[in-house]
Amino acid sequence: MKKTSSPARVRLEKRFARLRQKLARTGYISRGSVLARTVATSGRSGRQWTRKVAGKTVSVSLSREQFEAMKRAVANARELWKTIAQMEKVSRQILFQNTADTHRRKPLGKKVLGTI
């Protein structure tokens, strides 16, 4: 295994640390989506949380307070998955730059490594 302290590795390590801190600051999370409908069209409270459970769509009517909380939770979940995807790319860059590789005729491209 090659160990380097190159500026590129230091930059990647710092980026990974920032992403890890961002992950730690994530609040409540929830899958699904929330939407506010006008009461005139639905005849109900007008706010819904929708998600898939076992391949079926499940909808729940929400109060205004629940709607705001679920809206933040759904946004947090989406940001969480984006952050994890970024961490995965950075991890691969660090791992492939700093571990021994097999002898190849051509170096692996960024597309093959999934770093682009």
The CA-based diameter of the chain, rounded to the nearest angstrom, is 67
Q: Which of 23-32, 41-50, 52-61, 104-113 has the least mean pLDDT?
A: 104-113
Residue 87 lies in a domain: yes
Residue 50 lies in a domain: no
Give the count of domains, the chain.
1
Residue 58 lies in a domain: no
The pLDDT confidence band at residue 1, using thresholds 50, 70 and 90, is very low
Nearest to 90 by CA among 29, 32, 6, 10: 10
Residue 70 lies in a domain: yes
Q: Which of 37-46, 67-76, 107-116 has the least mean pLDDT?
A: 37-46
**Distance (Å, whole) CA 84 – CA 18:** 12
Instruction: For residue 87, give its domain range.
Output: 7-30+64-113
More confident residue, 95 or 34: 34
Residue 23 lies in a domain: yes
